[in-house]
Structure 1
Amino acid sequence: MSQNQPQQLVAGANAPLPNDHISIRIISQNAVDCAAYRLTSDGKVRGDGDMIFYGQTRSDDGNVSFRGHDSDGFFDINLPAQPANIDKIALAFSSEQTLAQIGDVDIQVLQGSQVLLTCQLNGTGRSEKAIILAECYRRQGSWKFRFIAQGFNGGLKPLSEHFGVEIADEAPVPSQAATQAQTINTQKPNRPAQATPPPIPASPTVNLNKITLTKNQSSINLKKRDNFGKIAVNLNWNQRPNADQKTPKKGLLGDLFKQHKSGGIDLDVGAMIHLKNGEKTLIQALGNRFGSLQSAPYVCLRADDRTGQVSGGEWLDINGQQWSQIEEVFIFAFIYEGVPNWAQTDGVVTIHVPEQPPIETRLTEGTGNLPMCAIARLVNQQGSINVERINQYFKGHQEMDKAFHWGFSWKRGRK
């Protein structure tokens, strides 16, 4: 094939791949859930770190990664760096619709910006909702690509289990009383809602219903919608022992418990908001800047938990109906009272977007007694929500502002 003309494959055909970084692009007119599976010679993953999809966007070693936007999904694969016991990398997708409803799906294999191979999956008359599209596989020390186009019964969960991935069970359906309580709390935003902790699996599993942002997988893009609904951001941290429990007498941990007994570790969540019209504003309990949902900046702080004893923690709400008016929401937290040791607070921030898996990041990396944590930002990218994990720690508001160029003027304040 010429350098400028990609080779087109039919189902069952194969072609050599360069021993290099490649990208595989999956193009669909409708939304599909793409996934890649690194497989050993028995056709199974070695562990859950070999599954790459929207909820786990990098393999455990980072040599396969996923980036998706609207109806395009990209898998970036470093072929020379694949572990020796990985025999192939299978590429698949699933959908709530049948392939006939989805329509044709196109596949491109790229080296840099050059398209090497193309394939087209014809959806006419096909009733499957999941497809094993293709695979990169080793043959006599080299890598090759095969277009498979094999239908599979079931969705992402059975497809993943077919490749040996352990999938966590879905959270139980809440009781009628719990649902009523959630409705009441929604109607009274100044009272923190009672959050139900997710079930803890007995062994490590991939959870299709939760996205955890880490250093290795630090962002996720939520596709453009006309109305994202009410977006809720929760800051929670573990309760400390009661006053009648024995307290360590020495060291930083002892100081932390002492602070809690005398008033608790007070973590505060806040946000800096940049609107499309150029306006910038701040939301936080310090200074009683609670914001508004129905008018600019379309972000509101529900309440302030001074002790960490409220199981629901603290909540920020974002009016997703007005997302088109928002350029960026920058979420931060700081330790208002107590020893600034983030690892001991077990803090976690969870972003709840209607009809999307919860997105969480844990505040456990702070060192050097820095009380301020820049957590994450929600960026408007042509109508989509790009959630980016930050998790950087600072001496205070002014230092954090300077690092991210917000340009506010700061002075000391109290609640």
Structure 2
Amino acid sequence: MKQPQQLIAGANAPLPTDNISVRILSQNAIDCAAYRLTTDGKVRGDGDMIFYGQKRSDDGNVSFRGHDSDGFFDINLPAQPASIEKIALAFSSEQTLAQVGDVDIQVLQGSQVLMTCQLSSAGRNEKAIILAECYRRQGNWKFRFIAQGFNGGLKPLSEHFGVEIADDAPAPQNTTQNQAQLINTQKADNTSQASTPPPIPATPSVNLNKITLTKNQSSINLKKRDDFGKISVNLDWNQRSDGNKSAPKKGLLGDLFKQHQSSGIDLDVGAMIHLKNGEKTLIQALGNRFGSLQSAPYVCLRADDRTGQVSGGEWLDINGKQWSQIEEVFIFAFIYEGAPNWEKTDGVVTIHVPDQSPIETRLTEGASNLPMCAIARLVNQQGSINVERINQYFKGHQEMDKAFNWGFSWKRGRK
């Protein structure tokens, strides 16, 4: 098999006119982003920025998958709008590049690594880097390794490319008391009192912050609305069967594409929905219970990823316009096959509510013999949404049902 081409900073190489993937690997967590740019070097709108909080472009032709130190941008080159001249790839971190360590880039077509680049961290004190770009040249696409440092973090980097960033975006994790659009962070006892947030800005803008629910910060409340819009719950995971994100450096230029090719971890997301009228129902792939968004229970599973290879994992949608009809949505997931425990999956659940920060919780604590995880519940508290982290692990559906008093009758199922 042809060896991948190695690029140095400033070098370029032709790309196939096809779907490609750009893989970004680091030793530590970084926030990766892609920007689709016109001839003036700016995005056309917020839908041209792709990152952890918005994993697909507005037309779906650029998407992001992966976590922290191992991310993929999947790019459909032939489908890019005519007005898009280049796609810039960048990352930012709270640490300097010298602290993050070397960053490796691979360009893949399917499972074949076409080219590789290594960004050396030696003596680099920037916290944001424009890594590379895919660009048009005389009707064809090319790839250039840039490695250009940028002062500031993800916000000034994004604004450099013309993305409008909300000034009142909430602060991450432990600084949530003064968040716009989010009422105070609460512990599970829900004893805190709500504060009134500032008005929502009239112009939509990208929110770069995400809220991570942990044992110490286990709950957050979203202020009451008449219509929350479409609420989306994403279960994503490391889709390689070996479960090893931090691959050795030795493999980056040769055999890592084999790990990208191999897969086999199949996780399934589901929900128990309790409506205000007392009705309880389940949404999950087992038994083909996909639900409905427009009628009760107002929750729908988009599809079942039976291969473990679908970009972006699995999604549940909740009709936020009908939130007044819902008492509780209880999110759970289970390992169907391919991994001995949750730590090997590197699973993460992210809840996306329009005009709010993404809310995530990571599934890394499950014992090897407990494949079922009760993840989180969304509870209707007088019209607001209280998001509560659970992260408890069980042998199966029946044991989880008993722990939370659902009252369903269970039998073994397959898909």
**What's the TM-score, normalizing by structure 1?**
0.57
Q: How does 1:265-304 map to 2 (within 5 A)?
A: none
Return the match for 1:364 from 320, 328, 337: 320
CA distance in 2, matches of 1:166, 1:114: 36
Q: How does 1:188-203 map to 2 (within 5 A)?
A: 189=189, 191=191, 194=194, 197=197, 199-203=199-203
What amino acid maps onto 1:95 in structure 2? S
CA distance in 2, matches of 1:130, 1:334: 45
Over the aligned positions, Cα root-mean-square deviation in angstroms equals 4.4
Return the match for 1:232 from 198, 202, 219: 219
Q: Is contact 1:18-1:143 (8 Å) kept?
A: yes
SS in 2 for 1:386: strand
Report the CA distance between 1:194 and its aligned residue. 2.6
Structure exhibiting the larger radius of gyration computed from Cα positions: 1
SS in 1 for 2:47: helix
SS in 1 for 2:57: coil
1:286-313 CA-partner distances (Å, limit 9, x unpaired)? xxxxxxxxxxxxxxxxxxxxxxxxxxxx
CA distance in 1, matches of 2:65, 2:194: 34
CA distance in 2, matches of 1:375, 1:78: 35
Return the match for 1:337 from 253, 277, 280: 277
Partner in structure 2 of residue 205 of structure 1: 205
- Equivalent pairs counted in the alignment come to 279
SS in 2 for 1:107: strand
Structure 2 alignment gaps of length 5 or more = 228-266, 281-291, 300-315, 335-341, 354-395, 410-415
What amino acid maps onto 1:231 in structure 2? S
- Residues 1:89 and 1:239: Cα distance change in structure 2 (over 3 Å): closer
1:243-279 CA-partner distances (Å, limit 9, x unpaired)? xxxxxxxxxxxxxxxxxxxxxxxxxxxxxxxxxxxxx
- Residues 1:56 and 1:190: Cα distance change in structure 2 (over 3 Å): closer
SS in 1 for 2:99: helix
- Residues 1:196 and 1:54: Cα distance change in structure 2 (over 3 Å): farther
- Residues 1:39 and 1:328: Cα distance change in structure 2 (over 3 Å): closer
Q: Is contact 1:87-1:138 (8 Å) kept?
A: yes
1:320-344 CA-partner distances (Å, limit 9, x unpaired)? xxxxxxx999554432239999889
Return the match for 2:24 from 15, 22, 26: 26
CA distance in 1, matches of 2:332, 2:189: 22
**What's the TM-score, normalizing by structure 2?**
0.57
Report the CA distance between 1:236 and its aligned residue. 6.8
Q: Is contact 1:171-1:199 (8 Å) kept?
A: no
1:133-167 CA-partner distances (Å, limit 9, x unpaired)? 00000111111100000010000000000000000
Report runs of 4+ in structure 1 exceeding 3 Å deviation: 171-176, 190-193, 195-199, 227-230, 233-240, 327-333, 337-345, 364-367, 370-381, 388-391, 405-412
Partner in structure 2 of residue 142 of structure 1: 140
- Residues 1:378 and 1:164: Cα distance change in structure 2 (over 3 Å): farther
Seq. identity, % = 61
Partner in structure 2 of residue 121 of structure 1: 119
Partner in structure 2 of residue 6 of structure 1: 4
Q: Is contact 2:293-2:317 (8 Å) kept?
A: no
What amino acid maps onto 1:48 in structure 2? D
SS in 2 for 1:337: coil
Return the match for 1:163 from 143, 161, 164: 161
SS in 1 for 2:204: coil
Partner in structure 2 of residue 46 of structure 1: 44
Partner in structure 1 of residue 348 of structure 2: 386
SS in 2 for 1:96: coil
Structure 1 alignment gaps of length 5 or more = 212-221, 241-326, 349-359, 392-404
Q: Is contact 2:8-2:117 (8 Å) kept?
A: yes
